[in-house]
A and B are shown apart, each in its own frame.
Chain A
Amino acid sequence: MRLKFKTREDKLSELSQYLPDGDFIAVFGTSHTSGVCKRGDSEAISREDIWAEQVGAALGLPVFNASMPGNDNDTIVQQMIDFLDVPGARERCKRVICELRIAEGTTRMSRDLLGDFGVFRRAEFVPQLTNCYSVPAKTVVDPEDGGLVGHTTITDKLLVRLPTSFKRQDKKRQYQLLLDMLPDIIDTPAPSMYDVVMDVLDNFINYENISMLPFIKDYNFVKTMNAIWRWNGIPFNWFCWDEHAQFGDPTDDFKVVRSAFKQVTDVFDTEVKLLAGSAHKHCSKSLPSDTKFSDFNCECGHQNEVMHKFVAEQIIKEIQNV
């Protein structure tokens, strides 16, 4: 039997099977929206406890969860474009809520520096939406559809997210985390890999993280998302789970940048007001004096069901007010 590769349209049609029947809401986001929360041998909270499912239940609509651990705003925009091309999505999606990153201390490293282009060539690329929470098909190999090595997205293949906060961790753990991120690219890491990665982290800590550029980039991503949804006639809201720069009082620089964006863009028109700036901070403030926010943290630095419930309640209140 001769095989042929599927087209983009074929793949998008396949993805449509993962959309809920009838009307639904779609959510995009990071590991928080995927419910990641490590406690003992449990890696994530139950689906029904994820904030998005609670919002969906309150609205009486099923949820298409397009979140992805390690996701970044650049990739979320691509996911959104793919999503809108999935047959039925544009017509049946009644609301979109996005949990995105604002000025997070992270950078992206290209895996092909550590492997070779051949690895990239052998992969069959699929729309960016393929590996989200609601589409459990990240690396399914199916000879019937001509996939020779399995399906993967371009960003999956190329980018590794490096939290710059790794700098604060001990080197042995840092190195192990990096190796865990590169399982399909290299069998034996080059001895210089550690140095390369440390250079990257140093560079971003010394340069990008001290400027307002990360805020400006991320607010512009929101501006792009706003346009995509507005011009498709689908209501859109966004919030940030843990905007690190918002944990303390906003700096003067931050106030200036925020004010500039308020003057000339619609970025903040769609922010979930009750979670403005940082959901983390609002949740922390809402706690009784005898409760510590850190009690809700899991072993991997995510938050448990309590925070998800708080986030869901704020979003539901805001949507119901509208």
Chain B
Amino acid sequence: MFDLPNVPFIAVFGTSHTYGSCQYNGKTEIEEREIWASIVGSNAGLPVVNLGTPGISNFTIIQQILDFLKIENSKNCVLALLEVRQRERLFIMSADVGSPVQQILKNDFQPEVIAGRYYSKLEEFKNLHRNSILQRVDSSMPVVNDVTRNRALYDRLLRTLAFINDEIIPNSIFDSLDTRAAFEREFNIGSISQKARDLYHIRTMIDILNLRNIPSKWFTMDLFINKNEEEEYDTLVRKFEKAAGISNNLIDGLRYGAYQMYEKDTKNTPSTCDCGHYMPDFHVWVAEKVCSEVKDILC
């Protein structure tokens, strides 16, 4: 069931950006061929296994990679591209805060990799009552300072995650989530530890892929740093290079986040859709940057 191409291919792990989420003109996604990963594959003449998953955390990407590597044909993977999160204003919400965890009993559990675009688009996986554990229990929640917007999102995600249909979700649950969001906003977002933890998770991804002799490159779509924080960020990455050795795998052309580098390069702001994701022209730009730095690996 968990087939992968039996010819050399590129594997891509990432968030909703890599999944292709984008609400515009009545659509919810951009076309497969418009996603940056597909463009990289097309330029390299290689098929792409796109495991991008909306709402995924770095922690869960590690688990996806582990599942992926257990599949026989993962040995045909010649390059892994990692579109990871860094310093994002998110926290992981546990759906069982909103409902009894027994709800997840209804599921036929599958490896974490099932949540990725590649499998979710396959006919045999569509509309089946199959979920991964983390899909069922956690979801990344934004911590923007807008309680009304947050609550609407909590409501939607809780209903999706926990099969709550017409029931009224108790206010105490929203209060708990509001408190958590405020905590993340005030406490973790401003600290270095969040960045350090992200870099450690990226390191784990690289190392696990290395163990299976798969080269990898990583970048961040939106890295939330201000221009005056770039020096601090560079210091942190250099420290990690000394202690953990990961910056060789960073796509340098997207060093401060694809969004920020696009602004620097073009003096323009990338155009976004109704849900804050990027339009196809930005995907083309990202793909060019990635292609220019993975040539050596693919040649």
A117–B236 Cα gap in the complex (Å)?
10
Q: Determine the residue in chain A with the shortest Cβ distance to B98.
A: A211
Are B235 and A121 in contact (CB-based, < 8 A)? yes
Q: Determine the residue in chain B with the shortest Cβ distance to A9.
A: B245
Check if B62 is an interface residue, CB within 8 A of chain A. Answer: yes
8 A Cβ contacts from B134-151 to A = 134, 137-138
Interface size on A, residues (CB 8 A): 56
- With beta carbons under 8 angstroms apart, the residue of B137, B194, B200 that contacts A110 is B194
A211–B193 Cα gap in the complex (Å)?
23
Given contact pairs A110-B194, A155-B196, A159-B193, A216 touches B204 in the complex (Cβ within 8 A): no
Check if B262 is an interface residue, CB within 8 A of chain A. Answer: no
Q: Mark A73-113, 1 if CB is under 8 A from B, else 0.
A: 01001100110000000000000000000000000111111
Contacts of A318 in B (CB 8 A): none
Q: Of A131-139, A163-171, A226-234, A298-306, which stretch is located at the interface?
A: A226-234
CB distance from B77 to the nearest CB of A (A): 15
Check if A182 is an interface residue, CB within 8 A of chain B. Answer: no
Contacts of A120 in B (CB 8 A): 192, 235-236, 239
Are B200 and A74 in contact (CB-based, < 8 A)? yes
A111–B137 Cα gap in the complex (Å)?
30
Interface size on B, residues (CB 8 A): 53
Contacts of B138 in A (CB 8 A): 213, 216
Check if B88 is an interface residue, CB within 8 A of chain A. Answer: no
The B contact surface, by secondary structure, is: helix
Check if B128 is an interface residue, CB within 8 A of chain A. Answer: no
Are B211 and A108 in contact (CB-based, < 8 A)? no
Are B66 and A223 in contact (CB-based, < 8 A)? yes
Check if B244 is an interface residue, CB within 8 A of chain A. Answer: yes
A165–B235 Cα gap in the complex (Å)?
35
Are B188 and A110 in contact (CB-based, < 8 A)? yes
8 A Cβ contacts from A186-211 to B = 196, 199-200, 203, 206-208, 210-211
Are A203 and B180 in contact (CB-based, < 8 A)? yes
A7–B208 Cα gap in the complex (Å)?
22
A223–B183 Cα gap in the complex (Å)?
29
Are B191 and A125 in contact (CB-based, < 8 A)? no
Are B193 and A253 in contact (CB-based, < 8 A)? no
Q: Determine the residue in chain A with the shortest Cβ distance to B114.
A: A264
Given contact pairs A112-B193, A203-B179, A253-B102, A8 touches B96 in the complex (Cβ within 8 A): no
A223–B204 Cα gap in the complex (Å)?
12
Given contact pairs A110-B193, A121-B235, A126-B243, A212 touches B176 in the complex (Cβ within 8 A): no
Check if B97 is an interface residue, CB within 8 A of chain A. Answer: yes
Q: Of B35-43, B105-113, B273-281, which stretch is located at the interface?
A: B105-113
Q: Determine the residue in chain A with the shortest Cβ distance to B201.
A: A74
Contacts of B236 in A (CB 8 A): 120
Are B69 and A108 in contact (CB-based, < 8 A)? no
A228–B273 Cα gap in the complex (Å)?
40
Q: Can you give 14 contacting A-B residue pairs, CB < 8 Å?
A: A8-B241, A74-B200, A81-B203, A110-B193, A113-B187, A124-B242, A125-B240, A158-B196, A207-B176, A217-B59, A224-B63, A227-B66, A253-B102, A264-B132
Q: Knowing that A81-B204, A228-B208, A260-B133 are A-B contacts, what are 9 other residue pairs whose CB atoms are under 8 Å apart, sorted by A's residue number? A: A82-B244, A112-B191, A124-B242, A154-B200, A199-B187, A203-B180, A212-B101, A227-B211, A257-B133
Give the B-binding residues of A (Cβ under 8 A): 5, 7-8, 74, 77-78, 81-82, 108-113, 117, 120-121, 123-128, 153-155, 158-159, 196, 199-200, 203, 206-208, 210-213, 216-217, 220, 223-224, 227-228, 231-232, 252-253, 256-257, 260-261, 263-264
